[in-house]
Amino acid sequence: MTDVIIDTRTSPSERAARVARVAAEHADDVDDRARFPREAVDELRASGLLAQAIPTDLGGEGATLSDLSGVATILAEACSATAMIYAMHQTQVLCLTRHGGEDATGFTDAVRRTLIRVVDNGALLASATTELGTGGDTGRSGCAVEPTGDDRILLVKTAPVISYGAYADVILATARRTVDSAPSDQVLVVCQAEDTDLTQTSDWNTLGFRGTCSPGFELRAEVSADSVLPVDYAAISGQTMVPVSHILWAAVWLGIANAAADRARTVTMRAARKSIGTLPPSATRFAELLSEVQALDGLVRDAGRRFDALADDRAALAAVANSLSFLTLKITASDAVIAIVSKALLITGIAGYRLDTDVSVGRLLRDSYGTAVMVNNDRILASTAQLSLLTRKKTHR
């Protein structure tokens, strides 16, 4: 990664709009070729948006989750893959800033170096939390941290998916604390690209989110011992990884919904201009569509505000009621975006069905279906069912 000149003189939304213009220009090619959206990510680096959530003490902007959600939605209106990369990167940043030490002065050296790399150079962070043999359960690991001497450790992990792993500057990987630890006794390890070898084990040729470039890899990293975050991964997951990722993903899906609604609006307005004085048949269906988009928008905004209000209360964030809320957000938002884009297709008709028009919803529809299988909704429903049994029934008098 080469040094970049970062410009943060304009507002995050203005910078996000600039990145979105670049992303939109290349979105179809990124999707057609299932390639990494390099142009948009380079613009993200230069804009300083990758460092948004890093504390101001370290040169970041100290952005709230609501701030990050707003940027994710703007990006997703142009390119779903670019927005997902941004969302997944910010989730890892918040894992480091919230669990890498007591505060900006108490971070481990490895965490501090990583955050400074993001600020100075726009380093891109990815994660490796799934592993072959665990059935997709991110709460268990087969691989383990192994000391190698000289205050170094070795981690070897076979991951079925590492989103944009080949393009990341840092990968945060889960592993058992020691070779003798239980599968659920996990830690999170900061793996710098220069200390990590990735061997690709599968291809990435998918229906949607093709530009996230998420094949499987065998990861082999030999890093300093302080690269292990000083907090159990179970705490990181419950207090940050799950709520932040679900909220930011939902913000991305809101952007997809907005893009679909824009295409439906264009078709409806064109029809209205052809029949002045008469309401187009699609107008009523479009009004219904807008109400669903607004409901999703409210859901995403409320979730962001809830997290921001509880951000410093780790116990409250991990409480059953809030855990249920963040889990069900993912299911509700993924179902909503599929329904919204499907209705937009009905409004746009054959023009939206075609891939060579300015109102095509083909890419949006394919991306929308990826939301339900990315951390499969059935797995989340199973977790939700278990948590629901722990809640006390309200007594009505």
Domain ranges of the chain: 12-121, 128-227, 233-388
Query: How many Cβ atoms are within 10 Å of 388's Cβ, its own excluded?
Result: 12
**2 alpha-carbon distance from chain centroid:** 25
Query: How many Cβ atoms are within 10 Å of 283's Cβ, its own excluded?
Result: 15
Residue, of 244 and 327, whose pLDDT is higher: 244
Nearest to 40 by CA among 80, 9, 7: 80
User: Looking at the predicted structure, is the pLDDT value of residue 396 above 70?
Assistant: no
Q: Which pLDDT score, from 0 to 100, does residue 135 have?
A: 81
CA separation, residue 275 to residues 18, 138, 266, 267, 348 (Å): 36, 55, 15, 13, 17
Q: Which pLDDT score, from 0 to 100, does residue 266 have?
A: 97
Mean pLDDT of 257-270: 97
β-strand partners of 174: 188
Mean pLDDT of 298-303: 97
Q: Which residues contact 197 (CB under 8 A, 6 or more apart)?
A: 219, 220, 221
Question: SS3 string of the chain?
Answer: CCCCCCCCCCCHHHHHHHHHHHHHHHHHHHHHHCCCCHHHHHHHHHHCHHHCCCCHHHCCCCCCHHHHHHHHHHHHCCCHHHHHHHHHHHHHHHHHHHHCCCCCCCCCHHHHHHHHHHHHHCCCEEEECCCCCCCCCCCCCCCECEEEECCEEEEEEEECCCCCHHHCCEEEEEEECCCCCCCCCEEEEEEEHHHEEEEECCCCCCCCCHHHCCCCEEEEEEEEHHHECCCCHHHHHHHHHHHHHHHHHHHHHHHHHHHHHHHHHHHHHHHHHHCCCCCCCHHHHHHHHHHHHHHHHHHHHHHHHHHHHHCCCHHHHCCHHHHHHHHHHHHHHHHHHHHHHHHHHHHHHHHHHCCCCCCCCHHHHHHHHHHHHCCCHHHHHHHHHHHHCCCCCCCCC
* Residue 384 banded pLDDT, cuts 50, 70, 90: low
Mean pLDDT of 358-369: 97
Per-residue pLDDT tens for 99-132?
998 655 689 999 999 999 999 999 999 999 999 9
Q: Which pLDDT score, from 0 to 100, does residue 11 have?
A: 93
Mean pLDDT of 19-40: 98
CATH of segment(s) 128-227? 2.40.110.10
User: Looking at the predicted structure, is the pLDDT value of residue 163 above 50?
Assistant: yes
Q: Which residues contact 117 (CB under 8 A, 6 or more apart)?
A: 123, 169, 170
The overall average pLDDT reported for the chain is 92
Q: Which pLDDT score, from 0 to 100, does residue 1 have?
A: 47
User: Looking at the predicted structure, is the pLDDT value of residue 275 above 90?
Assistant: no
CATH of segment(s) 12-121? 1.10.540.10
Both structure tokens of 275:
């029949």
Does this chain's domain 12-121 share its CATH topology with 233-388? no
Q: Which pLDDT score, from 0 to 100, does residue 60 have?
A: 95
Q: Which pLDDT score, from 0 to 100, does residue 386 have?
A: 64
User: Looking at the predicted structure, is the pLDDT value of residue 393 above 60?
Assistant: no
Residue, of 11 and 102, whose pLDDT is higher: 11
User: Looking at the predicted structure, is the pLDDT value of residue 145 above 50?
Assistant: yes
**Most confident range, picked from 55-59, 75-79, 134-138, 269-273:** 75-79
Mean pLDDT of 42-46: 97
Matching CATH number, 233-388, of 3.40.50.300, 3.90.1150.10, 1.20.140.10, 1.10.3720.10: 1.20.140.10
User: Looking at the predicted structure, is the pLDDT value of residue 173 above 70?
Assistant: yes
